[in-house]
Chain A
Amino acid sequence: MEIVKLNVNGCVRETPVEHNRTLLRALREGLGLTGTKCGCETGDCGACMVIIDGEAVRSCLVRAVNLEGKEITTIEGVGDGEHLSPIQEAFIEAGAVQCGFCIPGMIMSAKALLDKNPSPNEEEIRGAIDHNLCRCTGYENIVKAILLAAEKMRKERQNG
């Protein structure tokens, strides 16, 4: 076991991990951050998506010990705790939420995209969620949600 310092949602926390412990397990079991979901642990479903230094990463595919010094954002870091972010509001309004299990991962992929590309087209959106599986919605409303989120974020920037 070793103690690793992880910067998660702007807060540096220590947690003991084995050398091969994934970030997913460290988040859920070590830090009690259960918003990031475990769907497969083989990198296939994307339910475990987080953002590391601005990139969307499947947390089941990376080791916690390799992430000291990196900035990790999870679903718990989206919104300010009291208010929903535009992305979260958009997912609700567009009817993109059914069972909800894929949603944290989807939102992280959406956020990683929109933070870099504020006006994506549908093809770019579908590319950004290519590693996220959803079994409920058929993806239609998820794509609409991300387009709506982009619009909301543009308006927010315009209004200062």
Chain B
Amino acid sequence: MGRDLNVVGKAKPISDAALKVTGRKIYVDDMVLPGMLYARLLLSDCPHGKIKSIDTTEAMKLPGVKAIATCFNTPKVKYNSAMRFIENKLPDTEMIFSDTVRFVGDRVAAVAAESPDIAKKAVSLIKVEYEKLPVITDPEEAAKPDAYPIHDGGNIVGDVRAKAGDSEKAFEDCDYVFEDRYTTQAVHHAAIEPHVALADWGADGKLTVWSPCQNTFGFRVIMGRIFDLPYNKIRMISPAIGGAFGGKLEVTVEPVAAILSKMTGRPVKLTCSRKDCILSTRVRHPSVSYVKTGFMKDGTIKAVDFKIYLNTGAYASSAMNVSGAMSHKVFKAYKIKDMSFECIPVYTNTPVASAMRGFGSPQQFFPVSSMINEIANILGMDPSELFLKNLADPYEKACCDGESFGNFRLKDCVIKGRELIGWDEAVKEMRESADKKSRFRIGVGVACGSHGTSMFPFMPDVTGITMKMNEDGTIVFTTGTSDMGNGSVTTWCMMISEVLGIPLDNISYIKTDTDAAMSDLVAYASRGTYTSGHAALKTAEIMRDKIADIAVKLLEVDKEELRFADNRVYFKDKSVDMTEIAVYAGETLQEDLSCSYMFHSTEGPMSSGAHFAKVSVDTETGEVKLLDYAAVHDVGKVVNPMGVSGQLEGGISMGLGYALCKA
């Protein structure tokens, strides 16, 4: 902005913190509508089978049971729960209820009843008969040509390939070639708020669904397809999200609540038990990867072949999205010019995999970083030096598409991180504990990763904001992007406050209501600050211009030298406050001050980070204790330092669980 910033760059608590610390923030499970019924799921305990029969007789006799939904009385429309917009082509493998169960946790039926206890009791009375089918849980086994097909057409969802240069030729010129196999396990997002949906299929044919989802507009597209409803007859609202991390990015229980509401003519709330969440919602894609690296004696990495099997579980869901994202991210941290990438997402009879924080990044940065640590060991080099030798410099061009890395400062992160953790001392301790053959050995590790922001150029990365000024000069804006506790809405309020010179307390918002907001792609891909922030900024600039047009009339001055601060518009020592502006607009011009702006990204700037860990390993029990950890990230301009550090600390904690608690 070329001037001192008053709001942006300063630590701000999340805008709805007061509601959350008093217990007055309303989450979907807190909601009660008149006449509301409670729903409960019946999940399969059969890992793979055709449903021969579902006997609901005893369950329906239970007083208070109002409806039971199964594959025999619900729409047979196939969909993909990760669909984002109308032309988004993804494999359609899911149904509200299928006549075939494909994993332990697959949906078989749902009961709507007068109370949660009645619904739970009724579920236990439903009898299901299965014709058992072969079970495959290993993705490499499932990928074999003779493996039993979990879906028509076999178990390979796709084969995503990308390359840069000629790795085959480059390997020939290398001093060494090293190959290894890596695995990562499934992880459940484990947001403290369980999955839930409240659906009200009104007597006027309008379906309203409240869900803690990250993707109100995408959910509306899917619900529209399943129920053959026009979008003005579907209202998706996400009033609050008690944590998501990608696990609430895809449609899960929403269609179930909706069909039960249609069947009963009453609102239906379906809250998953914790067990149902873990089994039947989503997990991170487990993976098996084969990495082949060609390098020189001096540590320069010349070529990498990366092949990964991504276990998508029983349904396609995000398989093609995650593998597609990986196919470009893998190229974007290193100087390496000759690389090949292949990702094979595969069906297995295991829980459905989906988006999760990083969206494929851990499954590729973990093997690559591990390999660099191993190569350092082979060469007798310091792994942090090996990273510095091979990481890209600022403004280098990515080998896959020639796009600039921008002001990429990952090397600086490595240098700073080394200093913070006391790397040299830690390495010395590691060597000493190895020499002494201590029971408790010190281990040190370093890993690097990069991340793009926004979905440019892979999807229309759009979001719109509408804004109006109330008659007293305060502001209300609408947005379709979710805030799942990451404070994204707070950053937009800060930007708007900065541009308009209006205090944060004078800015309110309505969010994630498909009837109220302009379109938004979705809350993921770290696009909240970048994409929606741009939309907020541009909308605020348009509003500022409208305010300025009035200010020049009231102050009788030129527009160019106006200054916006303290809820006033200044021209030198003259000023007028926002209430006067709004009153003039409403009462003299007889207009509302309002505007809107639809932003679409034209680039996807990168951020990056280097992490260092020092651990103690009990060589007798295998127990690992984390002794020290340092993380340094290049994040560009920080809008809210409290938000950034909160996200990093939470992400590190989640990553530690992923690494140290192997399933």
Instruction: Give the interface of A toward B (CB within 8 A).
Output: 18, 28-29, 32, 34-42, 44-45, 47, 74-76, 78-79, 84, 88, 91-93, 95, 97-104, 107, 133-141
Q: Kindly state whether residue B654 has any CB partner on chain A within 8 Å.
A: yes
Q: Evaluate contact between B18 and A136: CB separation under 8 angstroms.
A: no
Which residue of chain B has its CB nearest to the CB of A108?
B23
With the chains together, A96 CA to B459 CA distance in Å? 34
Q: Which residues of B contact A (CB under 8 A)?
A: 11, 13-14, 16-27, 29-30, 32, 116-117, 189-194, 240-245, 271, 273-274, 484-487, 642, 645-646, 649-654
Q: With a CB–CB cut-off of 8 A, which chain A residues contact B23?
A: 34-36, 74-76, 104
Residue of B nearest to A85 (CB): B21
Q: Cβ of B21: which chain A residues have Cβ within 8 Å of it?
A: 84, 88, 91-92, 97, 100, 103-104, 107
A76, chain B: closest CB distance, angstroms: 6
Give the complex CA separation of A98 and B117 in angstroms.
32
Query: Can you list 10 pairs linking A and B with CB atoms under 8 Å apart?
Result: A37-B192, A38-B271, A41-B274, A79-B22, A84-B22, A93-B13, A99-B244, A100-B240, A101-B243, A104-B21
Docked CA distance A99–B193 (Å): 9
Whether A98 contacts B22 by the Cβ 8 Å rule is: no
Cβ contact within 8 Å between A35 and B22: yes
A38 partner residues in chain B, CB cutoff 8 A: 29, 194, 271
User: Given A88, A134, A141, which contacts B192 in the complex, CB threshold below 8 Å?
Assistant: A134
Going nearest first, the 5 A-B pairs with the smallest beta carbon separation are A35-B23, A99-B485, A100-B20, A101-B242, A138-B653
Q: Are B22 and A39 interface neighbours, CB within 8 A?
A: no
Contact A101 B191 (CB under 8 A): yes
CA distance A49 to B575 in the complex (A): 52
What 7 additional pairs, Cβ within 8 angstroms, besides A41-B274, A76-B22, A137-B653? A32-B32, A37-B27, A45-B192, A76-B23, A98-B485, A98-B650, A135-B650
Given A88-B22, A91-B17, A100-B20, do A135 and B274 touch, yes or no (CB 8 Å)? no
Cα–Cα distance between A141 and B641 once the two chains are bound (Å): 13
User: Are B17 and A42 in touch, CB under 8 angstroms?
Assistant: no
Smallest Cβ distance from A23 to chain B, in angstroms?
15
Cβ contact of A99, chosen from B22, B191, B654, cutoff 8 A? B191
Question: Contacts A34-B26, A100-B16 hold; do A135 and B190 have CB atoms under 8 A apart?
Answer: yes
Q: Which residue from chain B places its CB closest to the CB of A132 in the assembled complex? A: B192
| The residue from A75, A104, A135 contacting B243, defined by CB atoms under 8 A apart | A135
Q: How far is the CA of A151 from the CA of B649 in the complex (A)?
A: 24
CA distance A133 to B243 in the complex (A): 12
Set A36, A37, A44, A138: member contacting B649, Cβ < 8 A: A138
Contact A78:B192 (CB < 8 A) given known A41-B274, A98-B646, A139-B653: no
A75 to B22, CA, bound (A): 6
Chain B residues with CB under 8 Å of A138's CB are 649-654
Is A99 within 8 A of B242, CB to CB? yes
Residue of B nearest to A133 (CB): B192
Q: Are the CB atoms of A99 and B13 closer together than 8 Å? A: no
Residue in B25, B245, B274, B651 whose beta carbon sits within 8 Å of that of A100 in the complex = B25
Query: For residue B19, which residues in chain A have a CB less than 8 angstroms away from its CB?
Result: 100
Minimum Cβ distance to chain B for residue A98 (Å): 4
Q: Which residue of B lies closest to A75 (CB)?
A: B23
Chain B residues near A44: list those with CB within 8 A: 274
Q: How far is the CB of B197 from chain A (nearest CB, A)?
A: 15
Q: How far, in angstroms, from A29 to B548 measured CA to CA in the complex?
A: 52
CB-nearest residue of chain A to B196: A38
How far does the alpha carbon of A13 sit from the alpha carbon of B519 in the complex, in Å? Answer: 46
Question: Are B14 and A135 in contact, with the CB atoms below 8 A?
Answer: no
